Amino acid sequence: MEPTKHFILFLQSSITPVALISGVGLILLSLTSRLGRTIDRSRMLASELRNTAEDRKAVLIAELKILHRRNKYLKSAMAGIAFSVLTSSLMIPVLLIMNITSLDLNIPGSILLVLSIGGIILSSVYLFADVSLSLKALALETEEYL
């Protein structure tokens, strides 16, 4: 096969991992934003905790505990997404090697794809847990008014 056809085949087969990396990058951006908000809120609550009356301290401490758990969930979600980016990125050299050498690397490529999607699934589970905790913190904060 002529070199141009090899290159075209490589480009065609690389579209899936590149699209996956792009989509996952947007999820990572969203997770980073959520993490930044939880960190800012934790700092604000810690500052408020130093200057508040005793009757309000229990609520603030409960909110801080929820934010701490949310940070752990977001960290795990970000690790899953980072793993997905890594495995998606590794698919590209595998595809390149397959196109240049005609080696059959379908099994390693498929394993990398499954691992990448597994990272996305894991991240989604932790993101859902974070959203649930976020709603729990909101209920805690607004319970006296509703």
What pLDDT digit, counting tens, does each position of 80-120 carry?
999 999 999 999 999 888 888 888 898 999 999 999 999 99
The pTM of this model reads: 0.84
- Residue 13 pLDDT: 79
Distance CA 17, CA 22 (A): 9
Domain interval for residue 125: 18-142
Q: Burial-class residue 67 by CB neighbours within 10 Å (0-12, 13-18, 19+).
A: buried
Domain-located, residue 75: yes
For residue range 33-66, what is the model confidence (pLDDT) as tens digits?
999 999 999 999 999 988 888 888 888 899 999 9
Q: How many domains does the chain have?
A: 1
In a domain, 110, yes or no: yes
Q: Angle at the Cα of 110 (from 106 to 115), degrees rounded to 5?
A: 155
Structure tokens at 97: 């090697």
Cα–Cα distance between 34 and 48 in angstroms, integer? 21
Assess if residue 6 is contained within a domain: no
With cut-offs at 50, 70 and 90, classify the pLDDT of residue 72. Answer: very high
Neighbours of 74 (CB within 10 A): 25
